[in-house]
């Protein structure tokens, strides 16, 4: 068996190669490369998909996050609640604005533990940032209730959850702002960096368009200190093709996850589960190996199976956030998960042979 990568992007491209290539040529030949009809059409189509009134294309998922807090007026002296076990970009979206992240432990589904949010709310709390980690929607009815009760803004990090739903409603449509990344390895990947925000608020949508273009609506009339965070025509065009197949992509990943769930059986391994009322789009299929995770990872590698830990160092223990003064032990569940999680290979175009080989190798593991 050839080496099985944790993720690979070529097979998803090859599946609809002609359409991607035709679109790329169309954009190249159009002579128009920044903020044109591809971006406009993508924004309309993506908003319709998520179920919001507006979507605004941006340059990355991190830009979506930090610009969300910027347009919501959240900054110095403000606190934002976020789960401890997330990709560091979620936290940077808060701290780029000089606001302070307040971490909450995850639940058994690796989502923010909604029973532990209320105790963290202070009079400085301005927002909750929900991360739908690994592709599973968080418990949104409870989060919505808390935001309403305490008058907090709700921002969703949907970088891993394109298409995931809670109570039949899509992630990215619950909050004031939904933040999306289209980094190539995400479920809905571009062919370079790209991102977007979704919102039902016309004023916020307008602000995002101003901020992404140096703070100007009208050329050379700069209203605020903005950014250069435009989604380009090439990525927007290619994303329109990807969006046509997002249902197929989600179905394929769901089938792969089901096959793992049925096939994997090893006493050292805890498989992921999905909350009632929630769906997962299986951005990652994350096992927990409470003991000997690193031996398990090495064993798979020795058998040509590549895995990744998402994430080995929780943000509050990273060097970047030393200044917050949070020491090891303050988030025991987050820290424990960092030692135990392991993401298996999962990607569009993964063959049955590849997956069966991963399953039988896992099942044969012992110490």
Residues that bind ligand PLP (CB under 6 A): 60-62, 86-87, 89-90, 131, 157, 159-160, 181, 183, 193, 195
The string over 259-296, giving b where at least 16 C-beta atoms fall within 10 Å of a residue's C-beta and e elsewhere, is: bbeeebebebbebbebbeebbbbbbbbbbbbeeebeeb
Residue owning tokens 């703070």 = 215
- Between 68 and 359, CB nearer to ligand PLP: 68
Q: Smallest gap, in angstroms, from Cβ of residue 192 to ligand PLP?
A: 10
Report the candidate in 257, 268, 324 with the shortest Cα–Cα distance to residue 84: 324
344: enclosing H helix or E strand: none
User: In this complex, which beta carbon is closest to ligand PLP, that of residue 157 or of residue 340?
Assistant: 157
CB of 351 to ligand PLP, least distance (A): 26
Smallest separation (angstroms) from ligand PLP to the CB of 181 = 3
Report how far apart the first and last C-alpha atoms of the chain are (Å, whole number): 23
Q: Which is nearer to ligand PLP, 158 or 359 (CB)?
A: 158
CA–CA separation, 83 and 103 (whole Å): 5
What DSSP line would sit under 206-249, residue for residue?
Answer: HHHHHHTBTTEEETTEE-S---B-PPBHHHHHHHHHHHHTHHHH
CB of 195 to ligand PLP, least distance (A): 5
Minimum Å gap between C-beta 223 and ligand PLP is 25
Q: Which is nearer to ligand PLP, 160 or 334 (CB)?
A: 160
Q: Identify which of 221, 167, 179, 229 has the alpha carbon closest to the alpha carbon of residue 61.
A: 179
**Between 86 and 97, CB nearer to ligand PLP:** 86
Nearest to ligand PLP of 102, 159 (CB atom) = 159
Q: Are 61 and 209 in contact (CB under 8 A)?
A: no
Choose between 85 and 279: whose C-beta lies nearer to ligand PLP.
85
Q: Cβ distance 314 to 11 under 8 Å?
A: no
User: Of 182 and 296, which CB lies nearer to ligand PLP in the complex structure?
Assistant: 182
For the bound state, the minimum distance from the C-beta of residue 67 to ligand PLP, rounded and expressed in Å, comes to: 11
Q: Measured from the CB of residue 204, what is the shortest distance to ligand PLP in angstroms?
A: 19
Minimum Å distance from CB 176 to ligand PLP? 17
Residue nearest to ligand PLP (CB): 61
Tell the burial category of 215 from Cβ atoms under 10 Å away from its Cβ (0-12, 13-18, 19+): middle
Residue 331 is given by DSSP the state S
């Amino acid at each position: 068996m050839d080496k099985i990568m944790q993720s690979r992007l070529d097979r998803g491209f090859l599946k609809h190669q002609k359409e991607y290539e035709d679109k790329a040529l169309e954009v190249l030949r159009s002579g128009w490369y920044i903020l044109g009809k591809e971006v406009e059409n993508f924004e309309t189509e993506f908003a319709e998909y998520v179920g919001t009134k507006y979507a605004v294309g941006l340059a990355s998922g991190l830009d979506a996050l930090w610009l969300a807090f910027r347009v919501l007026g959240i900054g110095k002296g403000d606190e934002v609640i976020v789960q401890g076990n997330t990709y560091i970009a979620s936290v940077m979206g808060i701290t780029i604005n000089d606001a302070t992240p307040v971490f909450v432990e995850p639940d058994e589904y690796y989502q923010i533990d909604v029973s532990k949010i209320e105790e963290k709310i202070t009079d400085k709390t301005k927002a909750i940032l929900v991360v739908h980690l690994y592709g599973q929607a968080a418990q949104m009815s409870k989060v919505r209730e808390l935001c309403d009760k305490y008058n907090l803004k709700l921002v969703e990090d949907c970088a891993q959850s394109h298409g995931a739903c809670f109570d039949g409603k899509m992630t990215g449509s619950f909050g004031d702002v939904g933040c999306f990344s289209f980094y190539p390895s995400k479920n809905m990947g571009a062919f370079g960096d790209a991102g977007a925000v979704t919102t039902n608020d016309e004023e916020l949508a307008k602000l995002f368009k101003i901020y992404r273009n140096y703070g100007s609506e009208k050329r050379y009339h700069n209203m605020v200190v903005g950014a250069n965070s435009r989604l380009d025509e090439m990525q927007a065009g290619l994303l329109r093709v990807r969006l046509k197949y997002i249902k197929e992509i989600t179905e394929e990943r769901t089938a792969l996850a089901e096959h793992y769930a049925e096939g994997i059986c090893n006493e050292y391994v805890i498989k992921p589960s999905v909350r009632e009322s929630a769906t997962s789009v299986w951005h990652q299929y994350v096992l927990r190996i409470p003991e000997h995770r690193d031996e398990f990872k090495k064993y798979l590698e020795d058998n040509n199976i590549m895995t990744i830990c998402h994430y080995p160092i929780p943000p509050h223990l990273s060097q970047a956030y030393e200044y917050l003064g949070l020491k090891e032990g303050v988030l025991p569940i987050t820290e424990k998960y960092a030692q135990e999680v392991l993401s298996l290979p999962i990607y569009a175009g993964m063959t049955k042979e590849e997956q069966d080989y991963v399953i039988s190798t896992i099942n044969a593991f012992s110490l």
